[in-house]
Structure 1
Amino acid sequence: MLKSHFLSFSSLNVSSRSLNASSRNLAESSNYALENYGTALPVAVIELISSAERKAECSVTLSKDGWAWFVCGRQLVIWKYSKSAGANTVSTPSRKSIAVSSPKSHELTLPPSDLAHKSDLVAVFCSEADSVPSCIAVSPEGTVRYWDSIAHENFFVEINADLQGQECDTLSEAMPLGCLVATTTASVLLLTPRLTDGSPNIQCRNFKTPQGLLGSISRRMSSLIFGPISTHQSMETRLVKLLSQKKDSHTLEVQILCSQTLQYWQVGETERLLYQCDIDKWARESLIAHVWSRSDRNSIHKLRVWILDAQVYKNDLILLIAASNPNLSSQIQYALAALPMQSSSPPTGFSSFCVLKYATAMAERSDSSLQESSPPQCRFVLVGSTAYLYSDKWILCVPSNEPLEEPDKLEVKAANERFLGAGVFNQRPVFFSTRHGVLILQPSVGGPNDSQSFIDESIMEHSQIMAENLDPAQVNYSISIYLQNESTSSKLRLAFINFCRKNIYETQSLLEELFASPTSKGQIDSLMDRMVVDFSQQIIDDYPATDPRWTDSVPAGHESTFTTVSLLVLHQLEDKVKAHDLFLTFLRNMSIWGDLTAIGDRRGAKSSAFVLMEHAEKLRASLALRALHTPGSTLIDASIRRVLQERAVELTNDKLTQQDLFYRHITALGDFFPCFVDVVCETVANMSGSPSDKVKPISNATNFIIAMTNAARDYRARNIELLEQCENSFETLPWIASPGPRSVRSSIIRLLHLLVEEGVANADDAGLRSNLWSQAANLTDILLDALKMYLESCDEHSPSFAQVKQEVQSERSAILELFLRGREFERVALLAEKYVDFGALLTVCDETMNENKLNVYIDKLGESGFTEFACKWYVKLLRLRRSEVSTFLEGHPDILWVDQSESENYLDAAHTLTNLACVEKDLYSRKRTLLSLAKLHLVTEEKLGPDPEVVQAELENVEAELALLTHQEQLPVVVLQAYDIDPNTMRVFTASELMEMYICDENVLANELDFKKALDLLNFLENQEERESRRLGIWARAILRDAWTQFDTDNVLQSISGTIFFKIIEFSLGTGEDLADLLPNPEEILREPQLSELAGNDVFQFLLKAVYEHVNSLMEATR
């Protein structure tokens, strides 16, 4: 939102009666009307404005969301000024009715301050649609007050930002990150509202200043001072504008514009300064060139320049600039400049600069010091690309298609009426008047369209030249053709002619008549698409209208487009560039551009907008070629001759040169590339001197092609958003990337091979070779960029997509292979990463043995499938180098089995896996996986191998190891918890350790099954003595689980049947096990040290022997 303009209420003297004036058009010009808009003003606002006793400064902000806030002293009034959809205007109600119909407003109290509050330091925003807004307000001293809901005036959070004496100037909403606050000296803070334990809170973060950007402490500069200040300007840094755009949900791009410089920041979890540039320098240079080019040097040094305001339009920053030269005049000149904005690199200057046909008188001052003069009080809002400049008394409308014309001006007549603020709502400018409240500026019928592009004044000058050079006879001929035959092409031509003459009404009428039928647009090869594309081709292929040499060569009945009025070829091309740009502007301004669809071609259908962009690209490429085509350029001259020969063009007019004929036919520019490469190859092949002599013509030829293709690519990159405004579901195959044996694409590839195989190979200097490789990288980048654009436009679900993708990838890999063979690993890595060639990246890592770089690519490109591709790539590499790999892997069994498995040596792979499992001690899950893989290979070998006995023996070993792991897997949960063991990360336990875990005291729920598992684990012990000792210990631990001395000896069988000891025996009998090997005799048990206390107890001895007697009887019964 633009800065509000602040006024003292002592100068307003507004009556309540003036606020109730009811008039539809409060001010008018030939193209615009100022009307009442939205809801009535809140009573509180009317009373504040009407109070003549107040001396406080007042300001208003009108947000794009339809909310307004009015600040007067410490009073803040917030209301919704926009009406529901469809209510575009409203009559201001009478004073009597205001109390009834006044909209709901919210009155808040701002923090205490010794300085004047203003609406620029307030932000009102909604976290959700239709919710009650929140509000953040900052005092000039830095006291921050946050209302989570403006409905609750007394519920707010207040903190104090440490500004170290600086004064706050602007608060800009940047949700969801928060709000940005800038001081008058360009320090920036980020305020982030949060909920902490359900309560609203706000955090404050200062931007960190990069080292070297701090100014003098004595001047109390902010943390964002922009380098050295021009001696032409005041040494004090003055904030002009704080702008921000949402890049994604977590990142902002922030522009901080000061009186001399611009800084571009990226803000997320941290803030980073991307670049800074000197705006004042570019503004001075442009003003001198456009306004004071004929002034003497002394007067230019006195030039005073102010950057007044800025707004973002698409990818440009539009600046409002004012300047005066008091030595020559007391007038202040105004200009609009467009500065390209991109986060990747700083701009190098303005892309367009238009001096307005409007000036104001410099305010008289008692102090004549120029250095202390204040900037003019003028701001602007931007709707589309139309700028609406405003001060407290007037509004100036500057449509971009007529920046050189005198702009419309609307003024307030009443002495006590002022504009306090402005904004944009629903793509229309809105203003706040002290007399009428909220006003909207509407275009009159036939007025300008705000959707047009920001046009450089040179294009508009060319439209005037074209209009002045229109031959009346030719115009009358077009009119007669249209009237007699109703020629559609003549009608479009007439519409364009009227547009150049600025006859907008006639233009619109002709177009409405031409495209009245619903079938005239919206489909492939529609009337609109064909006519527009054909006329675009006529423009770039037109004959020079004023060159008398062409008189005999122009076909009979040809209707000139008058695109070029120059005689020199270079100037003719420049004229065609401007004329074609004007035609594209005509299409956008007259609402044709968005209705374009596609035209059919041999490949299917091509976007009409894309074809028009190709025409513009070829113009730029031709212009680049002509700029390099100097006398003595034998390669270009020979190529042009060959092009004309292949086209079968005869030079029948001896007044015209081959260059005249070639540069006239722009659409066929692609013919030049194969002929040029043919000439270069033949020239190099026929050179008889030293091989190093071949390098220079190859390098020069490459520079020509790079200049041409770069000019085309740069134009496409700058205007890519234009394609997005049209139907873009069609494949976009750039002319640079079109296939074919005589195409631009094949010519570039041929030139690349020549450059590497003849140029680099014969260069006898390292520096020269480096330059040649740089040329090769630039040319490769241009071609791969075009191929990438084509592939991204293709439908992934189409039957031909896989084939197209394979062709593009194969061609890309073949080109990058040139760099790999030349060991230009850094260059090929950059290209391969940019264009996602995983094979080339892996080759670079493999050839350079750079494991760190491989890990970087895995982290960066893992989600894009790089890791999977790398695995497949290395497996394929293993196959190609089988013998070397096998020898190497013998010392690396952890990956040896993969090679053995790939070679179908399944038994060897199983043996390797089994050995790995046997030495695995750290991770149970890993050992089980290794054994499972070994078993899988053995089963496969058993089915296919010739020696089943060997396989069976190996399989038994694996099964035994798996059985041991199964015991570990079945450990009771209570034991794992007692020993703090995680089943997912537990180590491998020995058989002895597992026995102890099954029967330990911590296994409080142990039963006969747990003890039986412990006995089963005896089979995994190889030492006989240890096995016997463990067996006795397990039975003894089983006995100790029950209180034998407390059993009832009168019911012996009932008592012993419930013991763990007896249940183990009973379970073993039930499973058919031989108790002779499992159960020790009573005497051995009684000698077990763990049972020393029980062994002497008569009751225990009695019961133990009773168990054995009962077991013997059971065994006898089963025989």
Structure 2
Amino acid sequence: NTAVSVNISSNGWAWLVCGRRLLIWQYGHTSQRHNHCHELTLPPSDLAHKAHLVAVYVAEGRENPSCIAVSPEGTVRYWPSITHAGTSVEESADLHGQECDSLTDIAPHGCVLATTTSTLVLVNPQVSAGRHSVTCRTLKAPQGWLGGLGRRMSSLIFGALPTSQVTETKLVKVAAVDSKDYNSQEWQVYVLSDHSLQKWLLTTGESERLLYEFDVKRLVREALLEERWETFGGNSTEVEVWMLDMQPTDGGVVILVAANVHTSNDVWYALAKAPTDDLIPPTRFAWFNTLKNKGFCHDGDISELLAYQLLLTKDTAYLFNNYLVAALSLPYRFEDWDTIEFLAVGDKILGGSVCRNIPLFLSKVHGLVSILPSDCSPFDILNSSNMSIADSTMALSDLTSSQFHVTVTEADLEEMTLNNDSSTRLKAAFINYVNKNIAKSEQIVEEVFPVDDEPVIDLDAALDTVVLSVGQDLVNDMPAGDPRWAEQRIPGSSIGSSASLQILHQLEDKQKAFHMYLNFLKDIKLWDRLSAVSNRGLVMPTSYVLGEYAEKIRAAIVLYSLQQEHAMIETAIKRVLAEQKEKEPHLGLSHQDLFYRQVT
């Protein structure tokens, strides 16, 4: 029953906290890769330790990382090197009963320790005459007329924070951004509470400065009413708003919020970018988008709906909780979330971060998992061992299968298994693989393509032609959820990988299904047995032809996205169908349906 928590830093280190045990390891490939795990002992505490109160960093001029850990009560323990677990120093942050919430690395200044009530403490390791020590100093806004001018002007112009909000400030998130000028060693520290957003400036050799603080909750309410007037009734007092998370981005911070109208059980989510480059607080968001997906509050318990956290890459926002990851393209266009669920028995997401623009999650079952966008070529994923992120091919395979809902019934699957046609039986093996029946999948493959009977090199071998045939059927599959295709579908020939009625989603589903198929070929040990085939009058490796299929799916997705802007594409589609003498079936199928269904 011991609480377990994880943190993944963007500098290539990750750590896990279980009781007083702190396990630290390096997950990123570097020239000085540490291949073993270090264990340290956290300070005594009556409360549960957590990974967000630990910071692991490599100080300038040092080879081994240092570590700072803080107990919930405020006892600071500093290890100059994690390779020497017995060498550490301690200091008390003297928080007068406040509970610690997070520790944020701002090297070389040290770390910013934040309490649950938004008090900030600068924790700074030092060394003098060969002796290590650590100091703790509370960050305070300057007092007096001139020192407090920024806050006073903010109050006069943008409205003061209600007194109750100032005295009872619940911390949501601390985020730090270092200056692009490496000589200044300057950090901008953003502190998001349940009502306000602060911007601090910490510079080497200067006192800390609170640049401004403003009522971000008021801006959220105003933006919600402006964008969803009818949904929220036009009365801001009837709207309850929660700040869930915050991540820095170019020119500001992106905030994840949730909202609920007192008369409804629906919980809406929104992403908002607050511009923060100026020295005065923003009066409105740079952009504000309510999300299409929403939650429903059962029995008044809203805690699970407010458990989402936020990660950002260059063009995608990732929302995640204990059991799912949702990806949203930026800029957001009111689209459904693309989700990956962690539904294995005993599984949960322990933590997440972004490293080199790739989102990483630590799963209790799968371990460290990297999530790849749908426009990443599946053919490239097969060579993922060359990536700079920890290997996670099998984990990706498991996760993708939870999204891939095959529409073949058990009876049809049994009939396919007993069929004499090799392509049909390979499809049966693939479906068993998707359904996690690996033993059955391997049995079918062994019966259809026994290893002893397969030549090492053979042009147009049975294995190669069947593998390509199934791959082609998969990318040209008819949408199982579209009743207009019912009369065209041949029993046993379709896997039905997509249940969508929209062409774009059908293509994306095919892309995911084909990715699964490539993983299937590799995991069932067929990939290494592939040779070459005759293709367009040339001899081509079978793997190259499969790569072409993956590229064609991606090309179809891009072409479809451009079609709204270029009417000539529709004209070209009709001409291609006419040249192929493709007659338009009845029941409302369009030229686009026919064209984009046959990807190859």
Q: Which of the five TM-score ranges fits, normalised by the shorter chain?
A: 0.5 to 0.7
In the alignment, is residue 70 of structure 1 matched against residue 16 of structure 2? yes
Which of 161, 184, 189 is matched with 1:228 structurally?
161
Q: Secondary structure at the match of 2:559?
A: helix
Amino acid of the residue matched to residue 210 of structure 2? L
Structure 2 counterpart of 1:410: 340
Q: Secondary structure at the match of 2:23?
A: strand
Shift of 1:190: 0.8
In the alignment, is residue 324 of structure 1 matched against residue 283 of structure 2? no
Amino acid of the residue matched to residue 280 of structure 1? K
Shift of 1:444: 2.7
String of CA shifts for 1:1009-1054, please: whole Å, max 9, x gaps.
xxxxxxxxxxxxxxxxxxxxxxxxxxxxxxxxxxxxxxxxxxxxxx
Structure 1 counterpart of 2:218: 281
Shift of 1:289: 1.9
Question: Whole-Å Cα distance in 1 between the matches of residues 163 and 313 of structure 2?
Answer: 33
Structure 1 counterpart of 2:548: none
Which of 540, 559, 563 is matched with 1:506 structurally?
559
Question: Whole-Å Cα distance in 1 between the matches of residues 93 and 331 of structure 2?
Answer: 46
Shift of 1:132: 1.2
Which protein, 1 or 2, shows the higher relative CO under an 8 Å CA cutoff with sep ≥ 6? Answer: 2
Question: Whole-Å Cα distance in 2 between the matches of residues 326 and 415 of structure 1?
Answer: 36
Q: Judge conservation of contact 1:306–1:322 (CA < 8 Å) in 2.
A: yes
String of CA shifts for 1:681-734, please: whole Å, max 9, x gaps.
xxxxxxxxxxxxxxxxxxxxxxxxxxxxxxxxxxxxxxxxxxxxxxxxxxxxxx
Alignment of 1:172-187 (within 5 A): 172-187=104-119
Q: Judge conservation of contact 2:289–2:332 (CA < 8 Å) in 1.
A: no
Amino acid of the residue matched to residue 245 of structure 2? D
Q: Judge conservation of contact 2:175–2:189 (CA < 8 Å) in 1.
A: yes
Alignment of 1:869-1018 (within 5 A): none
Q: 1:444 to 1:165 in 2, by over 3 A?
A: same
Question: Whole-Å Cα distance in 1 between the matches of residues 60 and 141 of structure 2?
Answer: 34
Question: Whole-Å Cα distance in 1 between the matches of residues 304 and 334 of structure 2?
Answer: 27
In the alignment, is residue 315 of structure 1 matched against residue 251 of structure 2? yes
TM-score normalised by length of structure 1:
0.31
Structure 2 counterpart of 1:388: 318
Q: 1:417 to 1:235 in 2, by over 3 A?
A: farther
Q: Judge conservation of contact 1:393–1:419 (CA < 8 Å) in 2.
A: yes
Q: Judge conservation of contact 1:274–1:343 (CA < 8 Å) in 2.
A: no
Question: Whole-Å Cα distance in 2 between the matches of residues 316 and 263 of structure 1?
Answer: 12
Shift of 1:414: 1.9
Q: 1:363 to 1:140 in 2, by over 3 A?
A: farther
Q: Secondary structure at the match of 1:282?
A: helix
Shift of 1:407: 1.9
Q: Secondary structure at the match of 1:506?
A: helix
String of CA shifts for 1:490-534, please: whole Å, max 9, x gaps.
xxxxxxxxxxxx974227999xxxxxxxxxxxxxxxxxxxxxxxx
Q: Secondary structure at the match of 1:358?
A: coil
Structure 2 counterpart of 1:335: 270
Shift of 1:278: 0.9
Question: Whole-Å Cα distance in 1 between the matches of residues 125 and 166 of structure 2?
Answer: 37
Q: Secondary structure at the match of 1:176?
A: coil
Shift of 1:185: 0.7
Which of 25, 46, 63 is matched with 1:131 structurally?
63
Structure 1 counterpart of 2:44: 112
Structure 1 counterpart of 2:363: 433
Structure 2 counterpart of 1:443: 373
String of CA shifts for 1:841-890, please: whole Å, max 9, x gaps.
xxxxxxxxxxxxxxxxxxxxxxxxxxxxxxxxxxxxxxxxxxxxxxxxxx
Amino acid of the residue matched to residue 66 of structure 2? S
Structure 2 counterpart of 1:60: 6
Larger radius of gyration: 1
Question: Whole-Å Cα distance in 2 between the matches of residues 209 and 197 of structure 1?
Answer: 33
Which of 123, 130, 141 is matched with 1:209 structurally?
141
Q: 1:420 to 1:212 in 2, by over 3 A?
A: farther
Question: Whole-Å Cα distance in 1 between the matches of residues 117 and 251 of structure 2?
Answer: 26
Shift of 1:332: 1.1
Structure 1 counterpart of 2:189: 254
Alignment of 1:662-1061 (within 5 A): none
Question: Whole-Å Cα distance in 1 between the matches of residues 325 and 77 of structure 2?
Answer: 34
Q: Judge conservation of contact 1:355–1:403 (CA < 8 Å) in 2.
A: no
Shift of 1:405: 1.1
Structure 2 counterpart of 1:379: 309
Structure 2 counterpart of 1:423: 353
Q: Judge conservation of contact 2:121–2:137 (CA < 8 Å) in 1.
A: yes
Question: Whole-Å Cα distance in 1 between the matches of residues 257 and 210 of structure 2?
Answer: 25
Shift of 1:292: 3.8
Structure 1 counterpart of 2:586: none
Amino acid of the residue matched to residue 134 of structure 1? S
Q: Judge conservation of contact 1:230–1:260 (CA < 8 Å) in 2.
A: no
Q: Judge conservation of contact 1:379–1:389 (CA < 8 Å) in 2.
A: yes
String of CA shifts for 1:419-453, please: whole Å, max 9, x gaps.
010001121000010111100001234689xxxxx
RMSD of aligned Cα (Å) = 3.2
Give % identity: 40
Q: Judge conservation of contact 1:379–1:390 (CA < 8 Å) in 2.
A: yes
Question: Whole-Å Cα distance in 1 between the matches of residues 369 and 266 of structure 2?
Answer: 30
Q: Judge conservation of contact 1:186–1:239 (CA < 8 Å) in 2.
A: yes
Q: Secondary structure at the match of 1:270?
A: coil
Amino acid of the residue matched to residue 420 of structure 1? L
Question: Whole-Å Cα distance in 2 between the matches of residues 440 and 109 of structure 1?
Answer: 29
Shift of 1:403: 3.3
String of CA shifts for 1:39-61, please: whole Å, max 9, x gaps.
xxxxxxxxxxxxxxxx1211101
Structure 2 counterpart of 1:170: 102
Structure 1 counterpart of 2:284: 349
**Which runs of 5 or more structure 2 residues have no equivalent in the other structure?**
146-158, 379-554, 568-600
**Which runs of 5 or more structure 1 residues have no equivalent in the other structure?**
1-54, 88-101, 214-225, 449-501, 511-534, 540-544, 546-1119
String of CA shifts for 1:642-686, please: whole Å, max 9, x gaps.
xxxxxxxxxxxxxxxxxxxxxxxxxxxxxxxxxxxxxxxxxxxxx
Q: Secondary structure at the match of 2:217?
A: helix
Structure 1 counterpart of 2:574: none
In the alignment, is residue 199 of structure 1 matched against residue 145 of structure 2? no
String of CA shifts for 1:595-622, please: whole Å, max 9, x gaps.
xxxxxxxxxxxxxxxxxxxxxxxxxxxx
What is the aligned residue count? Answer: 372
String of CA shifts for 1:771-826, please: whole Å, max 9, x gaps.
xxxxxxxxxxxxxxxxxxxxxxxxxxxxxxxxxxxxxxxxxxxxxxxxxxxxxxxx
Structure 2 counterpart of 1:474: none
Q: 1:354 to 1:266 in 2, by over 3 A?
A: same
Where is the helix percentage greater, Structure 1 or Structure 2?
1
Q: Judge conservation of contact 2:212–2:279 (CA < 8 Å) in 1.
A: no
Shift of 1:103: 4.0
Shift of 1:297: 5.5
In the alignment, is residue 150 of structure 1 matched against residue 82 of structure 2? yes
Q: Secondary structure at the match of 1:120?
A: helix
Q: Secondary structure at the match of 1:209?
A: coil
Which of 81, 86, 111 is matched with 2:27 structurally?
81
Q: Judge conservation of contact 2:57–2:66 (CA < 8 Å) in 1.
A: yes
In the alignment, is residue 189 of structure 1 matched against residue 121 of structure 2? yes
Q: Secondary structure at the match of 1:357?
A: coil
Amino acid of the residue matched to residue 18 of structure 2? C
